[in-house]
Amino acid sequence: MSEANVSKPSQSYPCKCHCGEVTFTVTLSSPLADYTVMQCNCSICTAHGYLLVYPNRSDVVFHGNSKDHVQKYQFHTKKKDHWFCRHCGTSLLIDFNGIYENFDVMAVNVSNACPMFD
């Protein structure tokens, strides 16, 4: 079997806002180095420097009472929630709220929320 056909194991990454009030773990189906990272060009994603990965909703797990420290913002079509820390303002993720029939994903901002490159 060639190396290109070998399935790589999923990998979990600790994520947090700048102040640490919001913490969560993201599990990706393959290591981040092999994962497709997207850069959205909409106004809010551009302004906040989003670099996004799209794990299944079930693979984004918040710790303790972290969700109590999240502020949600909607604009334009008012269908997607952009999640920010209500204390430090870190852009965390986008919740698509089930608007796609075939998959239930969240878009996690790896440039701010997940210090995977530390």
Output the pLDDT for position 115.
Answer: 60
**Per-domain boundaries in the chain:** 10-109
Q: Does CATH place domain 10-109 in 2.60.120.200?
A: no
* Model pLDDT for residues 30-66, shown as the tens digit of each residue: 888 888 899 989 898 899 889 999 999 999 999 999 9
Is the predicted pLDDT of residue 25 greater than 90, yes or no? yes
Output the pLDDT for position 118.
Answer: 47
Predicted TM-score (pTM) of the model is 0.84
DSSP output for the chain: --GGGSPPPPEEEEEE-SSSSSEEEEEESS-GGGS--B---SHHHHHHT--EE--BGGGEEE-TTGGGGEEEE--TTS-SEEEEETTT--EEEEE-TT-SSS--BEEEETTTT--TT-
